[in-house]
Structures are given as C-alpha cells and as structure tokens.
Amino acid sequence: MIVKDSIKPRCFQSATARPLSVILCLMSVAATLASAAEEPSAPVAKKIPKILEEHGHRREDPYFWMKERENPAVIEYLKQENDYLNRSLAHTTNLQTALFEEIVGRIKKDDDTVPVRIKDYYYYSRFVQGGEYAIHCRKKGRLDAPEEIILDENDLAKGHEFFSFAGDDIHPGQKLVAFAVDTVGRRFNTIRFKNLETGEFLPHSISNVTENFVWAEDGKTLFYAKQDPNTLRAYRIFRHTLGTEPSKDVLAYEEKDETFSCYVSRSKSRKYLFVISHHLQSTEYRMLAADRPESEFQLIQAREPEHIYSVEHRGDDFYFQTNWKAKNHRLMKAPVASPSKLNWQEVIPHREDVLLEGFVIFRDHMVLQERREGLNRLRVRSWDGKDDHYVEFDEPAYLARTGANPEMETGSLRYIYTSLTTPSSTYDYDMAKRQRVLRKRVEVLGGFDPANYKTERRFARARDGQRVPISIVYRKTTPLNGKSPLLLQGYGSYGSSSEATFASPRLSLLDRGFVFAIAHVRGGQEMGREWYESGRLLKKKNTFTDFIDCAELLVKEGYADPKRVYAMGGSAGGLLMGAVINMRPDLFHGVVAAVPFVDVVTTMLDDTIPLTTFEYEEWGNPHKKEFYDYMLSYSPYDNVEAKGYPNLLVTTGLQDSQVQYWEPAKWVARLRALKTDNNRLLLYTNMGAGHGGATGRFKRHRETAQDYAFLLDLAGKLGSAQEVKP
C-alpha cells in the first residue's frame, strides 16, 4: 500500500541528524507503515471516458460503464466493495451479532394481527416460531370458529433467496384467493390462484405483472395491471376470466400518455371498479359496474393539469376528494349518473390551515383524515352533520391513521395509533358513543417500558423564516448537555410525510445514549400542500437547507454533540443525504445513505430507465434547460468535489427497480477518487434484493444491525445496551 505524504512523520530529518534521532524516526516510520498495512485497501473503480451533452453543456462521467448489469466487471467491482466493507467493519462483528440478537429478541415470535371482518369471515395473519413470513388465515362467523389457513408465505418462499408477498384479494364468493409474489426483487410479480375449499392451487398463473389486481363481482373475472418491461410504467389493464389461458386475456384499458401510470381499484361498496390514470400532479378516473365486468370503463372526470382527485361511492352519489380550487383539498359529491366536475357539490370546504389527506365512508358517518401543524387528526362526522368531533390523542408527536375498514354497515372505526414511544396500537372506536377499545398493541419483548423514554416536538427556524417541525425521542437518562450522539432522519419528497412512529430496532441506539430525531422538511406534506409545493421542482433545495437548519438547531439546543451528529435517509431521502454532505460536510460525522437517488441529472435524462417520465412532475424535465441547470446545481453525483466528507455507508440492491444500483455505485467511486479525507467510505450491495433490501421478518435486520454498528462504532459506543447514566 502506498503511504501518502499526508501520513509521512514529521520527524524525518536530513542525513546530518543525530543517530538516536534517526533511529527513533525510523521506528516511527515503521510503526506508521505497519498501521497503514493493517488498513484494508479500498477498491479502485476503473475509469472509462464518457462525455454526456445536453443544452450545449458537457459533463464527464468516467463511471457510466457501471450501468451494464450483466457485465462481469460490474459484478466483480460490487463484490470487491462488499468484501472491503466486511474487512473494514470486521472489528464490529460481535457488535453486529449482539445488535441483531437484540433487535429480533424484541419481536414476538408467535404473533398475530387483529381480525378484520369481511362479509361472513374474520381474516387475520399470524406468525409462528421460526417463521420468517406470515400465515394468512380466516374463521367463519365467529372468532372461536375453526381456523382455515388461506396461504402460508413460509411455504411459498421456500427455495428463494428473495421473497415478497405483494398482496391478495379474496374472491367475492370467498371460495378462492388471488395472490401475487415476487421472488427476484424487480417488482415483476406472478399472480396465482388457490381454491380455498379444496386447498389446491389452480393450474394457471399470470406472470410479469404488477402487484395491482382486483376481483369483479361476477365471480369469474379478475382485472390486473401490467407494466412496461423496461420503464416499469404500469400502463395496461387486462381482464382475465378464470379457467382461461392468460395469453387470451382482454386489454380493458391502455394509458397512452407516457407521463402517466394506471391501476385498478374497487369501491368500498363493491358496486364499482375504477381505472385510475395518474401522475404526481394529475388524476383521471374511469368506472364500470363491478357485476358487469365485460362493459367498457366510462370516464368520470377528464384529467386536467394540476388537478388531483379521488373517488368513493355511497348510495346514489360519488364522493370526491379534490384540490380543485382548494390547495389543501376539499370534499365534494355528485350523482353517479352525472359525476363530472360540472355537477360537484361541496360537502367539506377547503381550509387554509388543514390538509385533507383522506376519507372513509360508513353507513352513518364519514371519517376525515386531516393534518394540521404537522400532526394527524381523525374527524368523525355524521351524515346529517349533527355529530362532528375529533378523536382525542395525548402525545406531542404521533401518527393516527384509519386502519382496515372494509365494511360500510358498521358504527365502528378501526384506526391505528403509534408514536416514537408507543408501539403500533389497533383501536376500535364507537363513532356514536365516542368510546374506544384497544384491540392490540404490538408487544415489545426484552423489558421495554415506554416510561423510560421521552418524546418532544420542536420547530427549527429555516433560513427563509419557515418553521420546520422536528420530532425527537431519547431515553430519559440521556443527558441533553451537548455531549450525546444524535441521529437525524429525513425524506422530503413526493408529498410523503415522515411520520413519528415507533420502531423497536431503534431502541438499540436509544439505549446506548443516542438521541433520535426526524426532520419534517419541505417536500413532504406535514404542514399542508404548500409544504410539498415548496420542496419540489425549482424549490427542491429547500428540502436540503431545512435539514441542515434542523441539525444546527439540535446542536445549538444541546440535543447533540457537535462532533457526533449523524444522518440517515433512503431513496429520495438518500438524495437528501448526498446533497447535504456536499453542502455542509463539516456538520456530520457519519451518514447512512440507503438506496440513494444521487445521479439525478443523468437518470432524469434517460426515459428508458424505470419511473423517469412519471417523475418529471417531481424533479422537472431536464430536457428543458431551466430544470437541467437547477438539477445540476444540487445533483449529489455531479457535485462531488475534492474536499473532506463525513464517514459514509451507502447501501443498494442489485435488483433495485426504483433507484438502479449503479447510482450509489458510481457515487461511491467518484467520492473515493476525489475526497481528501481518511474517513470511511463503504458500499454494500445486496446481490439478491431490490429497493427494500433483504426480506424476511428477522433476517432483514442483519442489514439494520450493520447500519447501527457503523454508527455506534463511529460514536464510540461499542458496548451492550444499557440504561444511559446522566
């Protein structure tokens, strides 16, 4: 290994130096060389010149060759990086084992979900000792009836390194189940059918499709969505008749606009099927009667730029959640016979300070899922308007959302509640009596006591004056004196809000003295639709500066040791990580970037890559110079410089269909070639997984343990979990 000038000892002297000094100096050199020899050598990716040109601007990308998934040199490079990671983290092997055992030790091995009634059956899933996956079951009529096993994912997963159960749909007669699985990780699923009376699998299956499918009400027809094999855009809806060859399935709808995708759904009333065409800023619904699946889908309301709406059915009316003349959305209705926007009547008006996120229809009530000041609220309203109230919650930061409510003829709302200190809890709420019953709280083994932890909610003042919410949790014995390590997490894209939810693996950090925080940065919808609008397209940099401003506040307020601030984000949150370490590398000691979207310009210029055209509304179309220039100004890969960077762990999956593996691989290669520090730079590629990483209820936490070991090692906390002393 070559020793750089930067590690040359200062005691090198001229030939006239005294002999003892020379001896001492040579001893020091030998020690330095020995130490350097012990450090594993990082892979050096080859450079192949490649010039990319757009709008007359030329970019050099010497690692463009990594896009060749089948190239043996690419696979070899990824394996070398994995080997380098293993050698670099070898001293944390025992810690990783301890973390993994802690994390899975908190998970109840024989657990089940709260049963949900659909027609005359109760449906639920359960887990058994030694099982990585769920067993789906039902009981007829009552909860003490004999159990029927619908599907056992453990049997379906046998022989597969990767297994993802994409979902199922029970036949309207409840005698069959259609289900989809992916055994590669590229989100190409196979739909299969099982006879629930005989237990036999039907001979026909439908391969290379999305996870989206629904039964019609005639008892013999299934609609499903199929994607483009290259771009993965779901653009065709097919109609399949039981007992026929899938090759004879009928094309029911095709989405011609390449910036839109489409999928099929069913109304809660089960009377209508919908085909929904959508991109990030526009939707369009078509309908047909669910008991007449061979008829044509009829347009409900034509698509318009910047118009987003959704549809539900009750009686003679359709109900619409819409942003038409309502940035934060409102609720409208119109007759099924004439559902176009011309006939819409307002039910719930628009409010400047409240975002309407969704609604659920029941016989006597509707439930509105709202968000105000970053927090969820569940509003229960009777159809006659005489009863209008909110379900009460007590903690300063939490998530409350509607759960599985498939039946309309009930007065009970199923909802899920969780917080940074409260495990996921399932409640049934009597909407008329305003009484709730806790049906189940996820049991956390290992002596977990929520009373040992504290959650807080703060606001950082962004540089443009906006107040950015921060959710914080820590063990009560953790000192907030500016000496504790802190992990800050963020996302901030697609209008997806980062929720303050419980995660039992996180206890392994909290119990070792970490403070954990979520920065609710712009690009999500925590503070309303405007919060999203001000964090996308030509305002995307607000997402990055918000995150930096949150980190600085937490340091200033004593939540974090300024020398031990860590950050974590995945996918678009990985883009956030890449951007902030380019902008403020001095602020963070270490960063975990999971499946990071970091090669923004090149990816968005290539419409053959999955999801590209669909996402023009999020990032912009770089074929237009205004967006090209703006993307180029923040794209993490394009802005790597010759300077110091934090310690960095980057993860990806070879089969990832959302952020292709080559983005993080190229990013790491460029960082390694240019960065001027001696900090760790590690790349981990799961060679058998996709965007979500490893599968399995327990084995996926091997990767969690690796991430945590990386952070704990940097923070100097290698011991076992224990109560933190002030």
Measured between alpha carbons, how far is 701 from 698 in angstroms, rounded to an integer? 6
The b/e string for 473-505 (b: 16+ C-beta within 10 A; e otherwise) is bbbeebebeeebbbbbbbbbbbbbbbbbbbebb
Measured between alpha carbons, how far is 416 from 114 in angstroms, rounded to an integer? 11
> Which one, of 136, 87, 92, lies nearest residue 116 by Cα?
136
Active-site option among 61, 549, 599, 656 = 656
496 catalytic per annotation: no
Structure tokens that stand for 26 in this block? 């040579």
Q: Which long-range contacts (CB under 8 A, 24 or more apart) does 61-68 make?
A: 61/602, 61/666, 62/670, 63/662, 63/665, 63/666, 63/669, 63/670, 64/602, 64/666, 66/662, 66/665, 66/666, 66/669, 67/660, 67/662
Q: Are 131 and 122 in contact (CB under 8 A)?
A: no
HEC per residue, 130-198: CCCCCEEEEEECCCCCCEEEEEEHHHHCCCCCCCEEEEEEECCCCCEEEEEEECCCCCCEEEEEEECCC
pLDDT for position 38: 58
Structure tokens that stand for 50 in this block? 């490649």
What are the CA-CA distances from residue 254 to residues 234, 249, 277, 283, 291 (Å)?
9, 14, 10, 15, 21
Structure tokens that stand for 182 in this block? 């992916």
- The low-confidence residues of the chain, meaning pLDDT below 70, are 1-39, 610, 689-697, 718-726
350 catalytic per annotation: no
pLDDT for position 655: 82
Active-site option among 279, 329, 365, 691 = 691
Q: Which CATH class name applies to 446-563?
A: alpha beta
Q: Are 595 and 650 in contact (CB under 8 A)?
A: no
What are the CA-CA distances from residue 648 to residues 93, 538, 588, 619 (Å)?
18, 28, 10, 25
How many other CB atoms are there within 10 angstroms of residue 271's CB atom?
16
656 catalytic per annotation: yes
Active-site option among 164, 571, 635, 657 = 571
CATH number of 159-307: 2.130.10.120
What are the CA-CA distances from residue 321 to residues 274, 280, 341 (Å)?
15, 15, 12
pLDDT for position 7: 29
Measured between alpha carbons, how far is 574 from 551 in angstroms, rounded to an integer? 16
pLDDT for position 700: 83
